[in-house]
């Protein structure tokens, strides 16, 4: 059904925005992490979005829905800009010169990111809500 | 007199069954492409969406899955159920309309 195509598109948008929130939270949580699993300071993570055709997923594409594209997170990239270096010779993660490299995370940017992702999620949820109202309105025509 | 009667009776031929009646009888068996077949297919689809919504809700209750996928599955199940109810009501209405017909 055509309504379901739009539901799937909105669903993919919701998933993508949730991934963005996940990554922004991860960045915020690790804003001061000087050692990751690889021994390096944490690098901020960014999602890369990619449009995907919604046809053939969960049933045949309804007429009129051929061009509808969903979104998916194609990859998560680590920001390679250098983090700030702080002189702290007593720190266990200090290098030979006594400098500790902190993550390249700016909490202010991350909070703005978080807000943007939250608004994006809301927008997709509103699209679903509108769609539901339209479907119900369509069914009410012949009452 | 007798021959006249015979002639009249002979003129009354048995009613031929119209072709349309044949085809209606044949198509009402519920095969592919018939109304009954399509109806049960659509009902199966509705049932599938209900089961899907059920599974999603179960997954969320168990701590897995995710919330919006569950909401979307519930929404799909809701819309398709409403559509099925609409079709059912229309069918019952049509049936009642025919039953009210004075013969």
Give start and end residues of each alpha helix (H) in B1-103: 2-11, 19-27, 35-61, 67-100
- Cβ distance B68 to A135 less than 8 Å, yes or no, reads no
Q: What pLDDT, on a 0 to 100 scale, did the predictor assign at position A47?
A: 94
- Chain A positions in Cβ-Cβ contact with residue B72 (cut-off 8 Å): 7-8, 10-11, 14, 128
- Cβ distance A132 to B80 less than 8 Å, yes or no, reads no
Q: Is the pLDDT of residue A61 over 90?
A: no
Crossing angle for the helix pair B35-61 and B67-100, to the nearest 10 degrees: 150
Q: Is the pLDDT of residue A102 over 60?
A: yes
Q: How confident is the model at residue A51 (pLDDT cuts 50, 70, 90)?
A: very high
Q: How confident is the model at residue B26 (pLDDT cuts 50, 70, 90)?
A: very low
Contacts of the segment A55-58: beta carbons below 8 A, 24+ positions apart: A57/A8, A58/A4, A58/A8
Best mutation target, B46, B68, B91, to test chain A (most A CBs within 10 A): B68
Contact A33, A103 (CB under 8 A): yes
- Cβ distance B72 to A10 less than 8 Å, yes or no, reads yes
CB contact, 8 Å: A125 with chain B? yes
Best mutation target, A2, A4, A13, to test chain B (most B CBs within 10 A): A4
Q: What pLDDT, on a 0 to 100 scale, did the predictor assign at position B97?
A: 94
Q: What pLDDT, on a 0 to 100 scale, did the predictor assign at position A5?
A: 86
Is pTM beyond 0.80 here? Answer: no
pLDDT in tens, A103-118: 999 999 999 999 999 9
pLDDT in tens, B32-66: 678 889 889 989 999 999 999 999 999 999 988 88
Mean pLDDT of chain A: 88
ipTM exceeding 0.85?
no
Between residues A100 and A58, the one the model is more confident about: A100
Q: Is the pLDDT of residue A80 over 80?
A: yes
Between residues A136 and B23, the one the model is more confident about: A136
Q: How confident is the model at residue A54 (pLDDT cuts 50, 70, 90)?
A: confident
Q: Is the pLDDT of residue B28 over 60?
A: no
Contact A73, A47 (CB under 8 A): yes
Q: Is the pLDDT of residue B27 over 90?
A: no
- Token couple for A86: 């702080």
Q: What pLDDT, on a 0 to 100 scale, did the predictor assign at position B33?
A: 78
């Amino acid at each position: 059904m055509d309504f379901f195509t739009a539901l799937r598109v909105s669903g993919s948008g919701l998933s993508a925005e949730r991934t963005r929130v996940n990554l922004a939270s991860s960045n915020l949580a690790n804003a001061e992490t000087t050692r990751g699993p690889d021994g390096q300071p944490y690098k901020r993570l960014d999602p890369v979005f990619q449009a995907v055709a919604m046809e053939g997923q969960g049933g045949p594409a309804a007429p009129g829905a051929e061009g509808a594209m969903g979104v998916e997170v194609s990859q998560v990239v680590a920001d390679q800009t250098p983090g700030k270096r702080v002189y702290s010779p007593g720190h266990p993660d200090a290098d030979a010169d006594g400098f500790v490299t902190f993550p390249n995370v700016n909490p202010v940017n991350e909070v703005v990111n978080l807000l943007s992702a939250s608004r994006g999620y809301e927008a997709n949820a509103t699209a679903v809500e509108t769609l539901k109202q339209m479907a119900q309105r369509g069914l009410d025509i012949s009452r | 007199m007798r021959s006249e009667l015979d002639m009249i009776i002979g003129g009354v031929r048995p009613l031929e069954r119209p072709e349309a009646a044949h085809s209606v009888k044949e198509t009402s068996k519920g095969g592919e492409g018939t109304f009954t077949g399509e109806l049960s297919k659509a009902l199966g689809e509705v049932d599938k969406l209900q089961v899907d919504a059920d599974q999603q809700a179960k997954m969320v209750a168990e701590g897995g899955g995710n919330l919006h996928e569950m909401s979307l599955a519930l929404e799909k199940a809701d819309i398709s159920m409403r559509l099925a109810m609409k079709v059912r009501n229309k069918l019952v209405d049509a049936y009642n309309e025919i039953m009210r017909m004075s013969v």
